Amino acid sequence: MSKTKIETIAAELSKRRTPCLVSFLHPFRIVNAPDSNAWDVSIEQVNSASWDYVALHKVVGGIDVGLETPYHLVVCRDGGLALPPIRELTEETKAVEFFNQCLASFLLGGIYCEAIALDGLDFGSILDWKFIRANGQASAMPNRFHKHVRMQAASSLEAIELQEPRILKFTDLAEASKVGRETLERIPEVSGEFLLRGATGYARRDWGIALANFWIVIEQMTSHLWETCVVSQAKDDPSIDGRIDSLKDNRTWTAGVRHEVLFQKGLISKSAFADLNRARKARNKLSHAGQIPDEASSKSALKALRQLLVAIVPDIEIPFLTLDLDSYGLSDPFCPKDSGPINPKYWMEIKKLPGETELEKMEAEVLSITRKRSINKTPAPTELRRKVKVEKKKRAPFSKKQFEK
């Protein structure tokens, strides 16, 4: 093959296959472009692994995330996200940070999503600017799920997620990103990644991770308020020598002291100040004594963080302020959510363990007897005996000791 022909083929390949970094929205969603066909997967397709795997790879649009022209965040139908492997993102930690910054913008814009770590970063390519192909080497749970469903190799237990999934409009995703980016640009001190990791920890009921990350964001926003509302005013009157340096001394003006001043200046509300104090005490116990915070402390941190956002950018309507993170959270194993009656559409046999069938028959028998007694309102034998004892005790004469009292 001649050198010219090789160069021609190479040029064609570079146009048709573009390398990229890949991650995925989590929880799983189907993202629809305005012209997307309706997503519909039947139970037969789930069981036979015959769903439309090509549609899962399809690009639905690109979002401006602040990269130099012409680079965008490319989004595909199954929530796959692709970024260009430009110099700024060639270091893996920088790539993860940038992905999380994009996801934090979605979160601020009202679309709940969770942070990724290094095991959620994959590599792949964009084919003809129509499809995103991920290599599938990342080990994070969302990446493995997408690898399986994209290859039609998922089990029925996994693939059932394809049926009646959450649906997200691409236009809503783009709008959320716009609102989130505008908010973060107004507070340059804030790292969106910490906000995202805090929300992820909160949803997973990991109160230590939630509080620690929320508190980092709280301190960043406190620094912003302190600089813009206190230090900047002192700069207007530089006649007092050393005043600016003193105000910037974190040892003197700790977070607690700054909150007190901001509260007295009317920049933060009484309820926000109370939540900040509660969260700060819990954070100090976590940092200095290793004491894991409780749910109430993490909630206080979240409430305080939201109120600081309002104080800093009151002119932007931020959907995150009303986003119900609890609705995405794991249920408390000791106090599970009441999901109401279970009305399954589909079911499958659970493989039995030795002795399990016998136990289930015994449990069913007990349940049947309990129900019959409840219907007949007939007390169980133990309840009858207890009732008789109580009645005898009531009729018994006073003892000498009782009479003396």
Whole-number Å distance between alpha carbons of 35 and 93: 36
Q: Is residue 178 part of a domain?
A: yes
Q: Is residue 369 part of a domain?
A: no
| Domain stop point among 328, 347, 373 | 328
pLDDT at 17 over 50: yes
Q: What is the pLDDT at residue 384?
A: 46
Of all residues in the chain, what percent carry a pLDDT higher than 90? Answer: 71
| Domain stop point among 186, 202, 225 | 186
Q: What would the pLDDT profile of 250-265 be if each residue is shown by its tens digit?
A: 777 888 999 999 999 9
Query: Does one domain contain both 30 and 150?
Result: yes
pLDDT at 315 over 60: yes
pLDDT at 388 over 50: no
Query: Does one domain contain both 317 and 172?
Result: no
Q: Is residue 232 part of a domain?
A: yes
Mean pLDDT across 121-143: 94
Q: CA nearest 58: which of 39, 38, 76?
A: 76
Q: Is residue 304 part of a domain?
A: yes
Q: Is residue 372 part of a domain?
A: no
Q: What is the pLDDT at residue 389?
A: 52
The secondary structure of 184-239 as a DSSP string is: HHH-TT--HHHHHHHHHHHHTT-HHHHHHHHHHHHHHHHHHHHIIIIIHHHHT-TT
Q: Is residue 349 part of a domain?
A: no
Q: What would the pLDDT profile of 180-239 be if each residue is shown by its tens digit?
A: 999 999 999 999 999 999 999 999 999 999 999 999 999 999 999 988 888 777 666 666
Overall domain count for the chain = 2
Q: What would the pLDDT profile of 29-43 be if each residue is shown by its tens digit?
A: 999 999 999 999 999
Average model confidence (pLDDT) across the chain? 88
Query: Does one domain contain both 37 and 179?
Result: yes
Query: Does one domain contain both 224 and 181?
Result: no
Q: What is the pLDDT at residue 229?
A: 85
Query: Does one domain contain both 109 and 206?
Result: no
Query: Does one domain contain both 41 and 61?
Result: yes
Q: Is residue 354 part of a domain?
A: no
Least confident of 56-65, 83-92, 155-164, 366-375: 366-375
Query: Does one domain contain both 141 and 87?
Result: yes
Query: Does one domain contain both 140 and 96?
Result: yes
pLDDT at 396 over 50: no
Q: What is the pLDDT at residue 235?
A: 67
> Which CA distances in Å does 24 have to 58, 119, 320, 322?
14, 12, 20, 24
Whole-number Å distance between alpha carbons of 267 and 97: 31
Q: What tokens were used for 391? A: 């009645």
pTM of the model: 0.85
Per DSSP, 37 falls in state P
Query: Does one domain contain both 317 and 278?
Result: yes
Query: Does one domain contain both 112 and 47?
Result: yes
Query: Does one domain contain both 231 and 321?
Result: yes
| Domain stop point among 328, 360, 390 | 328
In three-state secondary structure terms, 277 is helix
Q: What is the pLDDT at residue 109?
A: 97
Mean pLDDT across 115-122: 96
Whole-number Å distance between alpha carbons of 277 and 288: 16
Q: Is residue 11 part of a domain?
A: no
Confidence of residue 392 (pLDDT cuts 50, 70, 90): very low
Q: What is the pLDDT at residue 356?
A: 94
Q: What is the pLDDT at residue 254?
A: 87
Q: What would the pLDDT profile of 327-384 be if each residue is shown by its tens digit?
A: 888 767 677 676 667 788 888 888 999 999 999 999 999 998 888 877 766 555 555 4
Q: Which domain holds residue 216?
A: 192-236+249-328
Query: Does one domain contain both 29 and 174?
Result: yes
pLDDT at 104 over 70: yes
Q: What is the pLDDT at residue 243?
A: 67
